[in-house]
């Protein structure tokens, strides 16, 4: 029997050489006359071990990582495929503490299945949520999502079910489901990893959303910086459509739903929901005034659900297991699980799905294993480029939307970027302003002009003609941006700036 | 690769394009319905075919979608992804965002700019490499990152970046 070997086709694995490793395994096996089948799975999220090669055995899957092309021959020499002695051997992957401690719901299939194999999907719990939703009335589906406590994972944490209810309550001949896969926040990659590793889960979530609110058409707006995710998802749509999971009369249930993939064009602001709609309609991605809410007047003026990838991908399990199952996980008003992304200067970075409530310190120490450089961790930025920088004294903050808000920080899309003690926090604050200037949609002056001024003021502070006056100026500039911006790009850029200034004032001192 | 731009003739839309480029642009446009919401897909199609969106192609797009030329230009210029000039043979996008900064992206950026003698959105004198900034490639746990053409590279060191550049051919 052919032995199955798994080599991820996830962007991070490929970025570390997985394609070449897969080719080398095939050619080396052929040369030695060993019968193997190489499966290109998604990523387990153990990014520091990528490329992570796994072999199927009777006991389970045995891992080796990170494996480079140069390691392949040695692996075969040692008796590969099989449970061989090797410095990179990890044992049974599912027994690894890093995975065992997690609660993999949204990412239950990632790294385990062949992302595009529908049979694999169905055999591993796929479509169970849809099957449940199919037997329910729209109102009951929406009610389940409300009761689950699921909040939007794109950043704003708005209750998902309430949004769905608003759209359900609208009377319109056409409604839309729009999936926000723009994932512009630096330090975040869960949307990408889900789409590359388990794309049918997103399709299933959108099918359920469509049934819940009475929409027959969906769009996925995926950023152009993710070419591999674009290819995988386009293929997933074709395969699902051929199998009758998309199109008209889905699986004989008498309902229609189809999904169109649209590719972004390198504008961070197009992750903001109204800007995203403008972009889908073929215009500049300028933010719209609200109201009207997209749920009432959204895409092409029609009632529209806009949700993040992870929000939609969380829905199938909620339907399959019930609202109470999900609501019982988490803390406070943050219910369920969050796929956390640990990146930057960290030894063991990757994707960690846990119930809300875990502290930053647990993540940094127990999962992360300290910095990659071996130097002390000095700061972490949570929640993307608009998120606050937190010093060590705040590492006991639990991952919970309200706990973060209470310390003027933001959980956002769950990205944690780690910096060691070589970081220059004034430089980071300057970058936050610079990024805002580059990405501003230009609609409001505080954001468009204020951010450029912010860069100049920070430069002046450090040049030191009148640092005190410049600090006052910087604070007042932040205040203007905070209160005078239409959206969170201008409105939250002060968060990283002011947190850096507050917790690391010494870095803003004059440079000589 | 020379830009597909000939001397413009204001009398007919798209007349500043050479025949090959014009045919590609027309083929892309013909593959879509005439609705404004397909503007981005059309622009992607043009850039995928030609490497950039030639300004001379905008009147063709505008007339196909019943938009003004200014509207189409406004959209092209809003999105960082679209180029209005032909790129070099390869496009190298360096991630400038925070996770990569934490792993030495600023040093890589300085090194590449010095070696190529260019800044962002510029092409090396020998026409081999265009350098562009990108803000996160979703490879933040294997930083620092860059994308060469369509391929993402992670855990970059100065040496690894040099090898990437070497692979693009001799660079002055
Ligand atoms: C500047 C800015 C950028 C944003 N970028 C994203 C993004 O990349 N992905 C995302 O899902 N939401 C993003 N959002 C949030 C969206 O506006 C919106 O709240 C979200 O898509 C709603 O889906 P959810 O409720 O499922 O989170 C962004 C918001 C702002 C203000
Ligand atoms: S805050 Fe900035 S990005 Fe947001 S609407 Fe205003 S100008 Fe546009
Ligand atoms: S467009 Fe309103 S400030 Fe310029
Ligand atoms: S910050 Fe560079 S890949 Fe995410």
Residue ranges of domains in chain A, CATH in brackets: 3-99 (3.40.30.10), 118-327 (3.40.50.11540), 330-420 (3.10.20.600), 425-508 (1.20.1440.230)
Predicted pLDDT at B165 = 96
Are B96 and B73 in a shared domain?
no
Are B137 and B99 in a shared domain?
yes
Q: Cβ of B97 under 8 Å from any chain A Cβ? A: yes
Distance CA A500, CA A490 (A): 17
Q: Is B3 a domain residue?
A: no
Mean pLDDT, chain A, as a whole number? 97
Instruction: Look at residues B122, B56, B146, B52 and name the one whose alpha carbon lies nearest to residue A265.
Output: B52
Are B69 and B121 in a shared domain?
no
**Cβ pair B138:A300 closer than 8 A:** no
Question: Residue with structure tokens 């446009």?
Answer: B29
| Helix (H/G/I), strand (E/B), else coil: A106 | coil
Reported as a single tens digit per residue, the pLDDT across A137-149 is 999 999 999 999 9
Predicted pLDDT at B170 = 57
Q: Is B33 a domain residue?
A: yes
Are B104 and B72 in a shared domain?
no
Pocket of ligand 4 contains residue B99 by CB under 6 Å? yes
Distance CA A492, CA A155 (A): 12
Ligand 3 pocket mutation pick from A269, A284, A442 by most atoms within 8 angstroms of CB: A442
Tokens of A329: 């996980």
Report the pLDDT averaged over residues A432-436: 98
Domain CATH code at residue B139: 3.40.30.10
Predicted pLDDT at A301 = 98
Reported as a single tens digit per residue, the pLDDT across A151-203 is 999 999 999 999 999 999 999 999 999 999 999 999 999 999 999 999 999 99
Index of the ligand 2 atom closest to the CA of residue A448: 7
Are B54 and B98 in a shared domain?
no
pLDDT exceeds 90 at position A84 = no
Q: Is the dihedral of CA A62, A68, A73, A74 positive or negative?
A: negative
Q: Is B6 a domain residue?
A: no
Are B72 and B107 in a shared domain?
no
Distance CA A3, CA A116 (A): 20
pLDDT exceeds 90 at position B8 = no
Distance CA A201, CA A211 (A): 15
Are B102 and B72 in a shared domain?
no
Are B94 and B154 in a shared domain?
yes
Instruction: Look at residues B60, B75, B56, B72 and name the one whose alpha carbon lies nearest to residue B27.
Output: B60
Reported as a single tens digit per residue, the pLDDT across A91-111 is 999 999 999 999 999 999 999
Distance CA A28, CA A25 (A): 5
User: What residue of A is the nearest CA neighbor of B153?
Assistant: A15
Instruction: Look at residues A404, A386, A408, A420 and name the one whose alpha carbon lies nearest to residue A496.
Output: A386
Protein residue closest via CA to atom 2 of ligand 3: A443
Are B103 and B163 in a shared domain?
yes
Predicted pLDDT at A85 = 85
Predicted pLDDT at A315 = 98
Protein residue closest via CA to atom 4 of ligand 2: A487
Quote the ligand 4 centre to B142 CA distance (angstroms).
Answer: 8
**Cβ pair B44:A265 closer than 8 A:** yes
Which of A205-219, A262-276, B11-25, B109-123 shows the lowest per-residue confidence on average (mean pLDDT)? B11-25
Reported as a single tens digit per residue, the pLDDT across A323-344 is 999 999 999 999 999 999 999 9
Report the pLDDT averaged over residues A499-504: 98
Report the pLDDT averaged over residues A276-298: 97
Predicted pLDDT at B14 = 67
Q: Is B10 a domain residue?
A: no
Predicted pLDDT at B172 = 44
Reported as a single tens digit per residue, the pLDDT across A379-421 is 999 999 999 999 999 999 999 999 999 999 999 999 999 999 9
Q: Is B129 a domain residue?
A: yes
Which of A219-223, A249-253, A270-274, B135-139 shows the lowest per-residue confidence on average (mean pLDDT)? A249-253
Pocket of ligand 1 contains residue A158 by CB under 6 Å? yes
Which member of B40, B135, B147 has the closest CB to residue A186?
B135
More confident residue, A465 or A230: A230
Mean pLDDT, chain B, as a whole number? 92
Distance from CA of B1 to the nearest CA of A (A): 23
Distance from CA of B93 to the nearest CA of A (A): 10
Reported as a pLDDT band with limits 50, 70 and 90, residue A293 is: very high
Q: Is B115 a domain residue?
A: yes
User: How much of chain A exceeds pLDDT 70, in percent?
Assistant: 100
Tokens of A170: 């609208």
Predicted pLDDT at B12 = 66
Index of the ligand 1 atom closest to the CA of residue A269: 1
Reported as a pLDDT band with limits 50, 70 and 90, residue A81 is: confident
Report the pLDDT averaged over residues A472-486: 97
Report the pLDDT averaged over residues B45-60: 97
Domain encompassing residue B24: 19-78
Q: Are A233 and A261 in contact (CB under 8 A)?
A: yes
Tokens of A421: 């003690």
Reported as a pLDDT band with limits 50, 70 and 90, residue B1 is: very low
More confident residue, A511 or A113: A113
Are B65 and B99 in a shared domain?
no
Reported as a pLDDT band with limits 50, 70 and 90, residue A42 is: very high
Q: Is B4 a domain residue?
A: no
User: How many of the other CB atoms lie within 10 Å of CB of A21?
Assistant: 26
> Rounded to whole angstroms, what are the CA distances from A151 to A312, A381, A449?
10, 22, 33
Are B108 and B138 in a shared domain?
yes
Tokens of B63: 């007339």
Q: Is B85 a domain residue?
A: no
pLDDT exceeds 70 at position A150 = yes
User: What residue of B is the nearest CA neighbor of A284?
Assistant: B75
Distance CA A94, CA B67 (A): 56
Which of B49, B78, B107 marks a domain boundary? B78
Pocket of ligand 1 contains residue A273 by CB under 6 Å? yes
Q: Total domain count for chain B? A: 2
Q: Are A264 and A270 in contact (CB under 8 A)?
A: yes
pLDDT exceeds 60 at position B2 = no
Distance CA A413, CA A153 (A): 6
Predicted pLDDT at B79 = 98
Query: Quick one: which ligand is closest to A311's CA?
Result: 1
Supply the ipTM of this predicted assembly. 0.97
Distance CA A283, CA A224 (A): 17
pLDDT exceeds 50 at position B3 = no
Are B74 and B100 in a shared domain?
no
């Amino acid at each position: 029997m052919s032995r199955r070997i798994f080599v991820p086709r996830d962007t991070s694995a490929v970025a570390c050489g997985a394609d070449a490793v897969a080719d080398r395994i095939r050619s080396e096996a052929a040369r030695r006359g060993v019968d193997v089948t190489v499966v290109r799975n998604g990523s387990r999220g153990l990014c520091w071990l990528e490329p992570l090669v796994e072999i199927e055995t009777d006991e389970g899957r045995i891992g080796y990582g990170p494996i480079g092309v140069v390691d392949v021959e040695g692996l075969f020499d040692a008796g590969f495929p099989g449970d061989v002695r090797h410095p990179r051997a990890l044992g049974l992957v599912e027994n690894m503490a890093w995975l065992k401690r997690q609660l993999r719901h949204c990412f239950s299939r990632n790294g385990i299945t062949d992302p595009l194999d529908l049979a694999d999907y169905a055999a591993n719990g796929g479509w169970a949520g849809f099957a449940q939703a199919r037997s329910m009335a729209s109102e009951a589906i929406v009610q389940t999502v409300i009761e689950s406590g699921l909040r939007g994972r794109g950043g704003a944490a708005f209750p998902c079910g309430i949004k769905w209810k608003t759209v359900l309550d609208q009377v319109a001949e056409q409604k839309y489901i729009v999936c926000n896969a723009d994932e512009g926040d630096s330090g975040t990659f869960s949307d990408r990893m889900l789409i590359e590793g388990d794309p049918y889960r997103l399709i299933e979530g959108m099918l359920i959303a469509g049934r819940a609110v009475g929409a027959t058409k969906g769009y996925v707006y995926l950023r152009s910086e993710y070419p591999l995710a674009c290819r995988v998802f386009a293929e997933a749509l074709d395969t699902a459509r051929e199998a009758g999971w998309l199109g008209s009369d889905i699986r004989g249930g008498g309902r229609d739903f189809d999904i169109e993939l649209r590719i972004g064009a390198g504008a961070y602001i197009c992750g903001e929901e109204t800007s995203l709609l403008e972009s889908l309609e073929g215009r500049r991605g300028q933010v719209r005034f609200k109201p009207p809410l997209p749920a009432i007047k959204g895409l092409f003026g029609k009632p529209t659900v806009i949700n993040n990838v992870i929000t939609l991908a969380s829905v199938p399990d909620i339907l399959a297991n019930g609202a109470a199952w999900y609501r019982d996980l988490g803390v406070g008003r943050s219910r369920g699980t969050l796929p956390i992304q640990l990146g930057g200067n960290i030894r063991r970075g990757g994707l960690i799905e846990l119930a809300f409530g875990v502290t930053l310190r647990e993540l940094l120490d127990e999962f992360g294993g300290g910095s990659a450089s071996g130097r002390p961790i000095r700061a972490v930025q949570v929640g993307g480029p608009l998120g606050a920088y937190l010093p060590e004294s705040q590492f006991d903050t639990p991952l919970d939307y309200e706990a973060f808000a209470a310390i003027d920080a933001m959980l956002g899309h769950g990205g944690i970027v780690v910096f060691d003690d070589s970081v220059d926090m004034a430089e980071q604050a300057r970058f936050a302003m610079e990024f805002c200037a580059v990405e501003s949609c230009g609609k409001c002056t505080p954001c468009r002009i204020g951010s450029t001024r912010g860069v100049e003021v920070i430069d002046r502070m450090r040049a030191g003609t009148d640092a005190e006056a410049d600090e006052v100026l910087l604070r007042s500039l932040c205040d203007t941006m905070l209160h005078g911006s239409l959206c969170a790009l201008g409105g939250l850029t002060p968060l990283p700036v002011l947190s850096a200034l507050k917790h690391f004032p010494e870095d803003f001192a004059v440079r000589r | 690769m020379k830009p597909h731009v000939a001397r413009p003739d204001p009398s007919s839309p798209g007349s500043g394009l050479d025949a090959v480029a014009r045919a590609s642009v027309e083929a892309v446009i013909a593959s879509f319905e005439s609705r404004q919401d397909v503007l981005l897909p059309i622009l992607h199609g043009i850039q995928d075919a030609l490497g950039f969106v030639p300004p001379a192609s905008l009147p063709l797009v505008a007339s196909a979608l019943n938009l003004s030329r200014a509207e189409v230009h406004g959209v092209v210029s809003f999105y960082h992804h679209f180029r209005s000039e032909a790129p070099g043979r390869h496009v190298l996008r360096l991630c400038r965002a925070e996770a990569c900064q934490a792993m030495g992206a600023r040093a890589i950026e300085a090194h590449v700019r010095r070696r190529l003698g260019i800044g962002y959105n510029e092409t090396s004198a020998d026409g081999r490499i265009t350098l562009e900034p990108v803000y996160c490639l979703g490879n933040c746990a294997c930083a620092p990152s860059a994308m060469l053409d369509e391929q993402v590279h992670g855990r970059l060191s100065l040496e690894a970046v040099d090898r990437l550049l070497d692979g693009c051919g001799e660079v002055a």
